[in-house]
Chain A
Amino acid sequence: GAVVSQHPSRVICKSGTSVKIECRSLDFQATTMFWYRQFPKKSLMLMATSNEGSKATYEQGVEKDKFLINHASLTLSTLTVTSAHPEDSSFYICSARGLTNTGELFFGEGSRLTVL
Chain B
Amino acid sequence: DSGVTQTPKHLITATGQRVTLRCSPRSGDLSVYWYQQSLDQGLQFLIQYYNGEERAKGNILERFSAQQFPDLHSELNLSSLELGDSALYFCASSVAGGLTDTQYFGPGTRLTVL
A binds B: no
